[in-house]
A and B are shown apart, each in its own frame.
Chain A
Amino acid sequence: MSKVGAVLGILNDNFEKRKTVFSVPEKSLVSWAKDLNIKKGTETIIYTGHMYQLMPITKSATNLYENLEESTLMKLAPVGRIVNKFIDLSSMSKFAAKPDKSEEERSNRCLQNIYKLLKYAGVEAGYLYEDELYVGTLLYDNGIDEPLINQAKILNKILKENNVKNIITVDPHTTHMLRKVYKKILPEFDYEVKNYIEVLYEKKIKPQNKLDMIVAIHDSCVLARYEEVIEEPRALLKNAGINYVEPELSRKLTHCCGGPIESLFPKKAKEIASKRANDLLTCSNVVTTMCPICLLNLKESTPLKDSFLDLSEILAKAYL
C-alpha cells in the first residue's frame, strides 16, 4: 500500500467509524458557544462544520507529519492504518504534538466574532451543538465519495428534526459542500446555504468604528472561484474605511494557499504557502484571509505570523 493510500485510508476509516477525519473531543468543538446563550436548532442556524475547531489539531498533526514525511517511519504508515481501526491515532497525535492553547482560543474567538456579527446584523441564528457534523471536505476532495452519501442523509435528518431551513456557514469549504456537493449527492438536501460574509453584506451592516488601515486581501480559491463570493468582503472592508489592496493574483485568479494538500504533502503545501505569503506581504504588512485553512497555512509559512488576520477579526474591530 502506498503512503497516499495509507493516509487516505486512515482518514476514511476515522470518518466511517468516528464520523470525522481527525478526532477532536466534542467539548472542544462546541466550547466557542459556551457563554453566548445560542438556541438549539431553529429555522436559521450557524454551521461551523468543525473547520475552525480542527485547525489547532491540524497544525500540530501537520508539523509532526512534515518531520516524518520523508523518514523511514513512513514505511509503517500501512501498519498505522491497521492500528487506527482499533486505537484512534489522530487522538494520539494530539499528545505527540499538542495543539497550542492560544490557537484553540483564537479559533473560538473567530467563531464568536462571526456569531456576534450576525447578531449585530439582526440575524438570530441557532446552533446544533453536538449534533453538528463534519461535512467531509477532505475525503470528497480526494475522490472518496461513498461514505459522504450516508453522512448527507444523517445530516439531512438532523436538520429536519430541528426544523432548519437556512444554514449560515463560516468557512468556504463547508459552504461549498452544503450548497453544491450535498445537493448533488442527495437531491432532497434542499436548504438555503449562505456564507456569513454574504449575509453581512446583504444586511448592509453599519460600522461602529472607522479603521484607518491598509489590508492585503487573500481570496480563498473555493470562495472566489467555486462560489463566486468576491465583492462582498471588499465592500465590508471598504465600508469600514479600510483601504484594501490586492496582489497581482487575486479575485477569480487568486493563488492557492497550499492548504488542500497539507495532509498528504506538507512540505509541498508549505512551499506554495510561502510563495503566496511573500506576494501578499509585499502589498501590506496586514493580510486578511477568509478561510481557516488559508489562515493556518499562510501564517505558518512565514516568520511574520502576526500579519495574518481572519476577516472576522478585522470585521469585529470595525463593526462591533
Chain B
Amino acid sequence: MIKVNSGLIDKIKISEDFNASACFNCGTCSALCPVGFDILPRKLFRYVLLGEEEKILESTDQIFSCLLCRMCEEQCPHDVNITENIRLIRNYLAKSKLGV
C-alpha cells in the first residue's frame, strides 16, 4: 500500500535547480554509473514526485552512496540536474529525518 505525502515535493524543491519532473525515465543515467546505483535516479525521482516518502526513507543508504560524480548527467539526454536533485533529497533527509 502506498502512503502518499503530497507535500513532500514542496519540502524537497527548495531550489529552482530541482528538476526531477524533467526526467522521462529513459534509464540512460545508469549506463556508466560507478556505484551501480540499485535504486535508479529515475525511480528515486518518481518516488519524490509521487510523494512516496517511506520508499525514500528505505533508500537512505543508497541516496547517500551516490558519488555526485555527474557521470549520469553527462549521459542524460534531457538535462536533468541529477546530482543536484539527489543533493537536495539528501538535504531534506538530513534536516527532517536524520537529525543532523
Contact = CB atoms under 8 A, between A and B. Distances in A.
A194 interface: no
A272 interface: yes
Contacts of A141: 68, 87
B98 interface: yes
B77 interface: no
A5 interface: yes
Interface stretch (A125-133, A260-268, A282-290): A260-268
Interface in A104-149: 140-145
Interface residues of B, number: 27
Interface stretch (B3-11, B20-28, B45-53, B57-65): B57-65
Interface string B74-100: 100000000000011111111001111
A191 interface: no
Nearest to A251: B74
Contacts of B13: none
B75 to A, nearest CB: 9
A225 B94 contact: no
Contacts of A2: 60-61, 98
B98 A5 contact: yes
Given A141-B87, A253-B74, A5 B67 contact: no
**Residue of A1, A9, A221, A265 ringed by the most chain B CB atoms within 10 A:** A221
B98 A4 contact: yes
A94 interface: no
B100 to A, nearest CB: 5
Interface of A: 1-2, 4-5, 8-9, 12, 140-145, 221, 225-226, 249, 252-253, 255-256, 258, 260-261, 264-265, 268, 272, 275-276
12 contacts: A2-B60, A5-B94, A5-B97, A5-B98, A140-B87, A141-B87, A143-B91, A144-B94, A225-B73, A225-B74, A258-B34, A258-B67
